[in-house]
Structure 1
Amino acid sequence: MNPALAHPHRFTREDRLRQKVAIQRTLKQGRKKVFPELVIYALRNELPHPRLGLAVSRKVGNAVVRNRIKRRLREAFRQQSVRTRGRDVLVVARPSARQLSMRAMGAYLQQTLERT
C-alpha cells in the first residue's frame, strides 16, 4: 500500500521525482504547459501513483520565499483529484510565482494534469 494513501497529508519519498534520469525524461518527452508564473511538464509513468518534482531557483527569491512556494505547490499537487493515475510532474517556478496563490497553483496543475 502506498504510504501517501494511508496518510493523505504526507508527501513521501515515493511521491517525489528525484532521479536525474526520470527528471530528464519528463523534460524531454513530457507535455509542456507554460503559464506566466510556472512551467509544468507532465508525463505518464508505469507507477500506480504520481510523482512531483520542483525546481525553484534563487531568481525566485530568498530561501523563505522559495520554501513557501514549494510548500504551496506540494499541497496544491496533493489536493488534485486526478492524483490516482501514474504520472511524473515537474514544476519550474518563475520569479513571478511569488505572487501566485495556492488556488491558482492548483488550477494550473489541474489544467495540465487533465490533458495528460
Structure 2
Amino acid sequence: MLPTENRLRRREDFATAVRRGRRAGRPSLVVHFRSGATDPHAPGESAPPTRAGFVVSKAVGGAVVRNKVKRRLRHLMRDRVPLLPPGSLVVVRALPPAGDADHAQLARDLDAALERLLGGGAR
C-alpha cells in the first residue's frame, strides 16, 4: 500500500499535475508528471514528499474491477516513489484496457511511461 504522505488527495494537486505537467501514454494507462524541482520550500526545510494519485473511471469496468486496478496501481507506485524527484506530483489515469490487464502488464506500462517522463524522451 502507498504510504499516506505519498498520496495525492486534493483536487488542485490533481489539476496541477494534469494541466502543468508532462504526459506519457501507454496502452493501459496515461501518466501525468509534474516535477517537484520548481516547487519552492523554505530554506533549511526538506523538500515535500513525492505524491501520487489515481484516476480510474467507469469506462475501465464495474466497481470491483476499478478497485482492483486502483489497488494494483497503488502497489506498483509504492516501489517507484523513491525513484522520483522529491516534491513531484504523479497522476496515473487508467484507460479501459487496464480492466483486463494483468499485474505484469500494468507494471510494464507504468515503468515505460515513467522512464519516458524521467528520461526526457520526445512527446
CA RMSD of aligned residues (A): 1.9
Q: In structure 2, how many angstroms separate the alpha carbons of the residues matched to 1:107 and 1:82?
A: 18
Map 1:57-76 to 2 at 5 A: 57-76=57-76
Cα shift at 1:11:
2.1
Aligned partner of 2:121 in structure 1 is none
> Share of identical aligned residues, percent?
33
The superposition leaves residues 37-71 of structure 1 with CA deviations (integer Å, 9 ceiling, x where unpaired) of 11110111254432111000111111110010001
- Distance change in 2, residues 1:81/1:88 (3 Å): closer
Q: In structure 1, how many angstroms separate the alpha carbons of the residues matched to 2:7 and 2:54?
A: 9
Q: When the two structures are superposed, what TM-score results if normalisation uses the length of structure 2?
A: 0.75
Map 1:13-32 to 2 at 5 A: 13-32=4-23
2:24 maps to which of 30, 33, 41? 33
How many residue pairs match? The answer is 107
2:3 maps to which of 5, 8, 12? 12
Unmatched tracts of structure 1, length 5 or more: 1-9
Aligned partner of 1:4 in structure 2 is none
Q: What's the secondary structure of 1:80's corresponding residue?
A: helix
- Distance change in 2, residues 1:94/1:66 (3 Å): same
| Off by >6 Å, runs of 4+ in structure 1 | none
8 A Cα contact 2:25 2:113, kept in partner: no
Q: When the two structures are superposed, what TM-score results if normalisation uses the length of structure 1?
A: 0.79
Aligned partner of 1:50 in structure 2 is 50
Relative contact order, higher structure (CA 8 A, sep 6+): 2
